[in-house]
Structure 1
């Protein structure tokens, strides 16, 4: 109960600070925690009253508990699932989205989970429209080779085994890439009239149903 009340008081103080910064009147300071008290609690646990969403805090706590229980920090999607949360995916999102995190979030990740921002050579290469077409076409060809047709359900996703050799994969990784093939084919049909002749021919060769 004390922690709940303390968080409510801290949030009230934070809201008042935001009003002052915006030059707007503060209705009342009653029930708001003092800055000195907030600093004391922040020194004990910087995440005791997070300004970020509860989903981020939940994944952080799950990752922290996983490590404290003797586990290792996951680095790949699907490597560790805890209570329905993909911790590997979450860790990757923090590293690649480091610049969007608050300074205190960065501090917490570095000092409690030893998570650091991704280096430039780790980041995926930005794909051009031609790269994206090549990726989806490769997925279509893989599906056709395996199934003998291109009648792909809209919700089907194709795990492209040869994605490492395609543009947009950093360091030629061999990890399969998940391609939303059904959605791509459906969208391609809708813009069939605008497709270049060669692209349409590539899909015709696979028995594309327009």
Structure 2
């Protein structure tokens, strides 16, 4: 019994350490749909999660497997997207889309070349429109929630000067520049007077990626705030 008990304790410790790495990865990226090469806390968290999603990956003991699944779901309910009918890659890109939208970007802002942690969300978004008929009902509901439907759908938020997303971005940028006298870093989150948060650094990068779609007045407004590429 002794050696077996020590083995069980060792496996439990290893799982706890990897779980902590998974929690750290989720805190940074917003999902456990990690690519295989992903690491966190010096742990190969991407490969570890890939292994767990395989048949019996959580272990052959039903109680222990259920307990581990609950621990993972507590971090990310969608940690195993294959059970929902889509791939890990799809889940990761979807998370990137929702993160960009939450940062204040409009759908028209998310063009090919706009990325989230290395994934091209704009290019992925085009494919979702093209492949709408191939998605299952759960995928369609999620994309509809994000404001994306079949090919005829278009954004309602607008990215023009009068669009809510663009206006909010300008407000956040102007507030930051007035306070700091410089441009925010890419990871900066600005808190607006109404208490909402705006990922202003990401928003500026998104505007740069779609510069050719900005009109002259939008570019002039950005340039007046000190955005050099808008000059």
| TM-score range normalised by the length of the shorter chain | 0.3 to 0.5
Higher RCO, 1 vs 2 (CA within 8 Å, ≥6 residues apart): 2
Query: TM-score, structure 2 length as denominator?
Result: 0.32
Pair member with larger Rg: 1
